[in-house]
């Protein structure tokens, strides 16, 4: 008998999960509250761990074709434009940069038609020993498993993990944008109290983000573009031009929150995945990547274990330590990279690191997060 899942949320985590379930021969319905799955968000990068997970989902090539290799972790600069580390022609480029909508589109196109329902907000969830139930548009829907991929503000987490604290503001805020600017190399520019990230995107576009500290969440400006230009408009080229070339209404301003570590990602037949389980500071570019890993591990466990309960136990045991360690590391990086006090020490340290050593650290197998290998999926569904 074909197993059925309900996936709540059609972000990158939810779509990756539906695809992973498809590959192991399950049926899934993805319920998304938004009216449309459109050109959402700005840019992001995916590291070798996530690119391997995408390959296991059968979309590795399509994802690479939608992205652009980026030198962001190789080109480190100071606001006056000097290089602390610099990419050389021919260096390996294990990081790929995407417009979020492009990566999302790759996952969506790989799903069977009709699996994603928009305008479908889930308002309640219940579970018992053998199934999960959600309420959507006043209708009860029942399945062998409910995957809550409903993001950092997860309704599912609030209902089934009532003791869990609300997402915590990390004291940082970010402005993001996408502009038409072909041929830009990726880079990170470290200023006192904040940094600017640039990634090249497909179709001649570039993504930029400025991350800095904020004393409270919710501080907003009448003209966000003017505000970010005021802060980084005197930094090296092409930063001022990139901000200037971004349509004013398209500058996104977002406060950084995370989900404190949960003691379990599983309640009976409901499982948390992606930001709903472990939203993290963006400074390692791993949030969506971890959700893609979650999807592959969940499907491998469902395909490989004798019961759904065993599979969920395995998912929880494998994913909590990794995602929570990644979130911890990202949080610390974010704190250091936006610290006025640590800035000088970081710049001095990066200037002194021999170029060969830095390159080794940013190679595809250069760090534990990037070295991760996905479990194999049996691919019975495609
Ligand atoms: C500034 C910034 C930069 C980042 N850069 C990177 C990066 O470079 N690389 C990377 O890997 N990650 C990055 N991330 C993190 C990444 O964006 C997230 O980790 C990722 O998008 C989470 O995906 P998700 O599917 O879990 O959640 P979401 O993308 O939040 O999707 C959740 C979906 O659920 C829907 N939903 C919510 N509630 C309901 C409901 N009740 N019923 C139905 N639908 C519902 C929402 O509408 C949404 O579509 C960054 C994050 C930030 C803030």
Q: Please answer whether residues 178 and 206 qualify as being in contact, where contact means their C-beta atoms are separated by less than 8 angstroms.
A: yes
Task: Give the residue among 4, 7, 12 at the shortest CA–CA distance from 274.
Answer: 12
CA 274–ligand 1 middle distance (angstroms): 8
Residue 22: CATH number of its domain: 3.50.50.60
Residues 241-263: what's their mean pLDDT?
Answer: 96
If DSSP codes are grouped into helix, strand and coil, which group holds residue 104? helix
Domain membership of residue 283 (yes or no) is: yes
Q: How far apart are CA 17 and CA 10, in angstroms?
A: 9
Question: pLDDT at position 129, please?
Answer: 83
Q: 118 in a domain, yes or no?
A: yes
Q: What's the confidence (pLDDT) of residue 39? A: 62
Q: What is residue 365's predicted lDDT score, i.e. its pLDDT?
A: 84
Among 276, 58, 59, which residue's Cα sits nearest to residue 149?
276
Whether residue 205 lies inside any domain: the answer is no
At 273-327, the pLDDT tens digits run 999 999 999 999 999 999 999 999 999 999 999 999 999 999 999 999 999 999 9
Buried b (16+ CB within 10 A) or exposed e, 185-208: bbbbbbbbbbbbbbbbbeeebbbb
Looking at the structure of the chain, the number of domains it has is: 1
Distance from CA of residue 185 to its chain's centroid?
A: 21
| CA pair distance 210, 157, nearest whole angstrom | 30
**Closest to 136 (Cα-Cα) out of 113, 108, 155:** 155
Per residue in 15-47, pLDDT tens?
999 999 999 999 999 999 999 886 667 999 999
Task: For residues 148 and 185, give the distance between their C-alpha atoms in angstroms, rounded to a whole number.
Answer: 37
Whole-model pTM over 0.75:
yes
For residue 112, give both structure tokens: 């069977």
Tens of pLDDT, residue by residue over 139-161, are 999 999 999 999 999 999 999 99
* Band of pLDDT at residue 127, cut at 50, 70 and 90: confident
323 CA → ligand 1 middle, Å: 15
**195 domain residue, yes or no:** no
Residue 84 C-alpha to ligand 1 middle, in angstroms? 32
Phi/psi of residue 367, each to 5°?
A: -145, 160
What lies within 8 Å, CB to CB, of 253 at 6+ separation is 173, 174, 175, 176, 220, 221, 224, 228
Q: Is residue 8 part of a domain?
A: yes
CA nearest 357: which of 346, 349, 368, 345?
349
Report the separation in Å between the CA atom of 108 and the middle of ligand 1, taken as the mean of its atom positions: 15
382 pLDDT higher than 70: no
Q: Within a domain: residue 84?
A: no
Residue 80 lies in a domain: no
pLDDT computed for residue 244 by the predictor: 98
Q: Distance (Å, rounded) from C-alpha 130 to C-alpha 150?
A: 22
Ligand 1 binding residues, C-beta < 6 A: 8-14, 31-34, 44-46, 121-122, 149-151, 155, 174, 176, 209, 254, 274-275, 282, 285-289, 291
**Predicted pLDDT at 310:** 98
Quote the Cα angle for 7-207-151, to 5°.
20
Is residue 356 a part of any domain in this protein? Answer: no
Peptide bond into 238 cis (omega under 30): yes
Which DSSP category does 347 fall into? H
Query: Residue 270: which domain range?
Result: 4-69+97-167+258-332
């Amino acid at each position: 008998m074909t197993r059925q899942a309900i996936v709540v949320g059609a972000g990158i985590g939810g779509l990756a999960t539906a695809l992973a379930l498809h590959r192991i021969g399950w049926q899934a319905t993805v319920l998304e509250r938004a009216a449309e799955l459109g050109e959402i968000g700005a840019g992001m990068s995916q590291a070798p761990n996530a690119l391997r997970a995408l390959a296991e989902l059968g979309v590795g090539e399509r994802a690479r074709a939608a992205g652009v290799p980026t030198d962001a972790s190789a080109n480190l600069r100071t606001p006056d434009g000097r290089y602390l580390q610099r990419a050389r022609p021919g260096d390996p480029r294990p990081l790929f940069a995407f417009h979020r909508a492009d990566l999302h589109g790759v996952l969506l196109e790989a799903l069977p038609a009709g699996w994603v329902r928009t305008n479908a907000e889930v308002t309640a969830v219940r579970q018992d020993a053998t199934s999960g139930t959600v309420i959507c548009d006043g209708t009860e829907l029942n399945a062998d498993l409910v995957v809550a991929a409903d993001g950092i503000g997860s309704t599912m987490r609030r209902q089934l993990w009532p003791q869990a604290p609300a997402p915590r503001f990390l004291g940082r805020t970010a402005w993001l944008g996408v502009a038409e600017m072909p041929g830009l190399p990726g880079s990170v520019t470290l200023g006192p109290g904040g940094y600017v990230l640039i990634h090249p995107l497909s179709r001649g576009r570039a993504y930029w983000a400025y991350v800095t500290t904020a004393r409270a969440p919710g501080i907003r400006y009448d003209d966000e573009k003017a505000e970010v230009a005021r802060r980084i408009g005197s930094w090296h080229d092409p930063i001022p031009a990139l901000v200037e070339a971004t349509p004013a209404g398209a500058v996104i301003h977002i406060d950084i929150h995370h989900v404190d570590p949960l003691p379990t990602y599983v309640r009976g037949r409901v499982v948390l995945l992606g930001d709903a389980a472990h939203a993290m500071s963006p400074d390692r570019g791993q949030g969506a990547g971890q959700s893609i890993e979650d999807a592959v591990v969940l499907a491998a466990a469902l395909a490989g274990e004798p019961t759904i309960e065993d599979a969920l136990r395995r998912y929880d045991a494998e994913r909590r330590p990794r995602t929570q360690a990644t979130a911890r590391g990202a949080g610390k990086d974010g704190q250091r990279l936006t610290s006025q006090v640590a800035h000088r020490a970081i710049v001095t340290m990066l200037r002194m690191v021999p170029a060969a050593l830095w390159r080794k650290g940013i190679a595809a197998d250069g760090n534990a997060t990037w070295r991760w290998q996905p479990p194999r999926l049996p691919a019975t569904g495609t």
